[in-house]
A and B are shown apart, each in its own frame.
Chain A
Amino acid sequence: MSHSVDNALDKALSGPAFEKRIKRRNLRDYLSKIGISVGGLGIIGAVMLIMFFLFYVVLPLFVPAHIEKHQTFALPGGANETTLYYGVDEYQTSGLRFTQSGNAYGFDLVKGGATSQEMLPLNGAQITSFTVVNELKSIIAFGLSTGEILVAQYGYSVTYPNNVKTITPKVTYPFGEEPIKLADGVIEHLAVRESDSEVRIVYQIKDSAEIKVMLFSKVESMLSDSVQLEEDTDGSLMASLPTQWLLLDSLGRNLYNIDADGKVEYIDLSDVSTPQVIEQVELLQDDKPSVVRFLLGDYSIMVGTEKGKVYQWFPVRQADNSFKLQRIREFDVSQSAITSIGIEKARKGFAVTDADGQFHLLHSTAHRYLGTEQAADVSLTRVVMAPRANGALVETAKGDLVHYMIENEHPDVSLESLWGKVWYEGYEEPSYTWQSSSASSDFEPKFSLMPLTWGTIKAALYSMLFAVPIAILAAIYTAFFMDRQTRQWVKPSVEMIEALPTVILGFLAGLWLAPHMEANLPGFFAIFVVLPLGIILFGYGWTKLPKAIRQKVPVGRRAVLMIPVIIFLGWFALQLSSPLENAFFNGDMRHWLTYSAGIDFDQRNAMVIGFAMGFALIPTIFSVAEDAIYNVPSYLVNGSLALGASGWQTLVGVVIPTASPGIFSAIMLGFGRGVGETMIVLMASGNTPLMNANLFEGMRTLSANLAVEMPEAEVASSHYRVLFLSGLVLFIFTFFFNTLAEVVRQRMRRKYGSL
C-alpha cells in the first residue's frame, strides 16, 4: 500500500513534466523578484522625485545669465559718426542707428551689415541735443541748433515678400515732420516727456543758465490721424549748477539738473509756471559721474562713475510728506570708468559697459550681478538691450558692433531679495514685501518670502500655544492616571480629530468662531483665567466633600467628572464677556483696542487661528505623547511609588524624564503639521502678508499663499518658480522637524528596549 504511494510520489516528483514545472516555478519566482524590486525601487524613487522636482523647478532662479557672442560687424554708417540711439526690433533681426549728423542707418542683425540709410528732416539744422521721450514706445527727440526740436519714433514693419518674414526698420514722426520751434538759439540740453494728453519739454539754450519748461497739450486733428501740439503753459528757472545732464521723470514732475561733478539740483515741476528747487545733493564723493540715466519707469536715476561704480538714486517721501533724493543701491561693477548703461524694457535690469571693453549684466532691485563678457580690447562706447532682454548690442571704440544673445529668465530674484529687506521704488524705506501681482502693467512684482515665513511661524506658534498645554496634560492624564475602560474610548475619540477634514475646521473658524470671538472677546480671554482657577477650586473643594461621595469617583475617572465642570466653566467665562467689557473696555473691547490701545483688529486673526489650528494639532501631539508616557516601563513607576512618592511626584520625577524624548518628538510633529496646514489658515487668517506678532491681526502663510496664487501663476515665470521655492521651504521645514521627531523617537524606543 505505502509502497504504491511512494511510487506515485516518485513518479510525480520526477520526469520531464515535473522538471518543467519546477523550471516554470523558479522562473516565476525570479521574474517576480525582478518585478517587485524594480517596482519597489521605482515607487520609492517616484516618492523621492518630489523633492528633486522641487529643486529642479527652483534652480533656474539662481542660475547666472547665459551670454553668448552672436556676431561682430562693422558699425553701419561708420565709426566717425557719434551714435545717439539704437532701435532694435522684438525679434532681433534688424536695427536702426541714429547719429549726430541726423542720419538713420538701418542694419540687419542676422547677417550683419547696413541695409538702408535715411536722413532725418532737419532742414539743414544741426543736432545739438538728444533725449529719449519714451523708452517703451521708442520715441526720441532731437534738439536743434535753430531752437527747434524734432520728435521721432523708431518702429518697424513686418512684411512677407515671397513668404519670407522680412522686418524693415522705419522712422515715424508722431507730431509731424516739421520741427517744433521752442526758442531762438541752440538747444543744448533737452528733456521731453509725453502722456496721453500732454507733452512736457524742458530745455536749456546754449550759454544760458536758464532752464525753460514748456507744457503742450495734444490736440487730435479732425481730418487726419496726426496729433498737433498746442502750447499751454510755460515757466523757467535759473539753474545754479552748470548743466551736464537734464533728466525729467516719467510724470514730468521731478526735474534733475546734474553737473559734471555729480551735484544735482532736484527741481519740483508740479506747477510748471513756478518751478521750485527742493534740494541740492552731491551724488558722489571723490568720484565723477561718467553716465547718468533713468532706469525703466523713469523714476530711478542710475549714475555710472569714473571709478567703475553704478549708483541708484530715487526720491523718497519723508515723514513730513516732502521728497528727498536718496541713494538706494551701489553696484561695484568694474575697475575702469563706466561708459554707458542700457536698460531692459520689461524689468529693472540693466547692462553696463566700461572703458576696459567689458560688458556687464545686472539687476537693480535684486541687486544681482548676472554676468560679464569681454566684448573688445578697447573701450566700449554704448550698449543697448533688445526689447525682450534676450540680446544686447555693444558698440566699441574701434567701430564695431557686437551682438550678444542673452538667456536671462529670472534676474529679478536673488537670495537677497527673497530673504532680505528690499527698497522698492516709491517705498519710504527698505521692506519685506510680498506682492506678486497687481492691476497696473508697469508693476514690479515683489517676492519677499519673509512675510510668508513669518506668517507661517506665527500661525504655528499661536496654535502650539493653545494645543501643547492641553494635549500634553491630557496625554499625561490619559496615559498615567486614567483607568482602562475610560481610556479605551477617550483615546480614539481625541484621535478622531486628526481625521476631521481641515476644510470643515477652517469653515467653522472663519464663519462661526471668528464672528463669535469678535463679539465676545473679553469672554474668550476670561476662559484663560476662569478655567484653570475654576478647576483648581473645584479640585480643592472636592477634598472637602464627604468621603462617601469622593470614593464614588476614583482618580482614573476624574476626567468624566470634569466634563460638566468644563462645560459650566466655559459657559460662565463667556457670560462674563459683557460685564467685563462694560467694566474695563467702555462697553466695546474691539473699539477700545483700536482707539485706546492702538492695536489693529481684524476679525480673522491670529487668535482665531490659534484656537482652530490648535484644535487640529491636539490629536497629533496627544497621540504621540500619550504613547511615549504609556510605554514607560511599569517597574520604574512601581519603584517610585513604593518609595513613597505621590502619583504626581512619580510622574514628574520618573515618568516624564523617561518619556521626555517622546514628548519632544510629539511637539515637533505638531509643529510640523502646524507649519504645513493649509485650509484652516486659508479660510480663517485673512491672508494679508503682514509682519507683526499682533494677536489680533491675521497673516498669510506659505501654504495658503500657494493655494491662492499657484493656479494663476504663469508656468516657468519667476512667480511660478518662487512659489515652488516656497513649497520647497515648506517641504524642508516639515521634513526637518519630522525627521528630528522620528530619530528621537527611534532612539527612545531603543532605550526602552534596554531598560
Chain B
Amino acid sequence: MQSQTLNSGDNAWMLTSAALVLMMTGPGLALFYGGLVRSKNVLSTMMHSFALMAVVTVLWAVYGYSFAFASGTPFIGGFGYVFLNGVGTAPNADYGATVPHQTYMIYQLMFAIITPALISGAFAERMKFSAMLLFTCLWSTIIYFPMAHMVWGKGGLLNAFLGGKIPCLDFAGGTVVHITSGVSALVCALYLGKRLGFPREPMKPHNLVLSLIGACLLWVGWFGFNAGSAVAASGLATSAFVATHFGASAAALGWMFAEWARHGKPSMLGGISGAVAGLVAITPASGFVQPFPALLIGFLAGVFCFFMVTTVKGRFGYDDTLDAFGVHGAGGTLGALLTGIFATKAINDGLKDAAGHVLPLGWVDGNPKQILNQLAGVVISWVLALVGTWIILRIVDALIGVRASKEAEIEGLDISMHGEEGYNLDA
C-alpha cells in the first residue's frame, strides 16, 4: 500500500529542497548578514542564524511541528504530533500524498528555522545572546507555529486549500515567513533602540564580498523554498521555480536603477538587496502566477523596498540594522497583495469547489475579491507580529534583559558575548 503511493521522484526533490532551504540560513543568511555588520560583530551576527538551526530543530521535534500541522483549532494545531508521534514514512495525504510524512516535516522545519533568523537583522550588533535564544523560543511558539497553522495547517483559518474560512493564497510563506519576521523586526528595532552612535558614527558594512556570496546562496536556496512548496516534482514546481528566478532578477534591476537615479551610482549592495526583496515578494505568488507577472512583481518589489529602506527608514529614524523590515516586511506585504491580483488557475488548478470544478484565483481570473482575502492574511499576520513580539520582548526584558551593556556593545559582541574574534589576521 505504502509503496504504491510513494513517488521516489517527488521524495528526491523534496529532500533536496529541504537541504536547499537549510542552506539559505547557513551559510546563506549568516554570510549575507555577517558581511553587513561591523567586523567586531561578525561572529555574533552569524551565530544568530547558526544557533537557530539547532534551537528551532529541537522545538520542532518536541512540539513545534504538532502546533503547526496537527489538527486543532483554526488558530493553532493540537498535540497530535507531539514528539513526532505518528510522523513516519507513510505519507500524509493532506500535506503530501506522494512523500513520507517525515519528508514534509523536515522540509517545513527549514522554514521555521529561517524565519526567526531573518528577524536577527533588526537587532544585530546590540542584543544579548541569551536574550536572543529566549526571544526566539517564545517567538516561534507564540507567532510562527500558530501562523504556519493558520495558513498551511489543515483547518487553519487562512488555508485556502484545506478548509480555511478565509482562503488566503500564500504559496511559500509571504505572510507566514516574511511578514511575521519583517514586522517583528520593526518591533525589535523600536524596542531595543538605536545602536550606540547611530546614525552619527559611520557603520559601514565590513565585508560586502561575504554579503554577495550569502545573497547568491539565498537566491539558489530559494528554489527549494518556493519550487519545493509544490511538495512534488511537478509542473507546478517548475512554474514556481521560473517565477522565483524572474522575480529575483527583475527586483535586482529595479533596486539598482532606483539607486542609480537617486544616488548617481548603482551599487553591488543595492543589486543583492533588490534580489532578496524580489525573492521575498515572489514567495507568496510563486506557485500561482505566470512568468511575466513574476517579472513585474519583482521589479515593483525592488523599487518599493529601496524606497522603504532609504526614504521611509530615514524619515522615521528607526535603526533596523540590516533592514529586515524594509526588505521582508515591506516586500512580503507587497507580494501577498499582488498575489491577489495575479494568481491564476492556469498555473495552479488546486482550488476546487465541492463538485470538483476548478475555481478562479486572483483578479486576472475575474475574482477581484481575492484581494480582500489577501488583505485579511496581511492584517492578521501584521497584528500577530506587532502585538506578539512586543509582549515577548517585555517578558524577555523583565526576565534577563534584552540589550547588551554599553561596554559590551562598544567592545563588540564577538568578544563580549562569545569570547572570540572573526578575523585573527596576525595569528
The yes or no verdict on A and B being binding partners is no
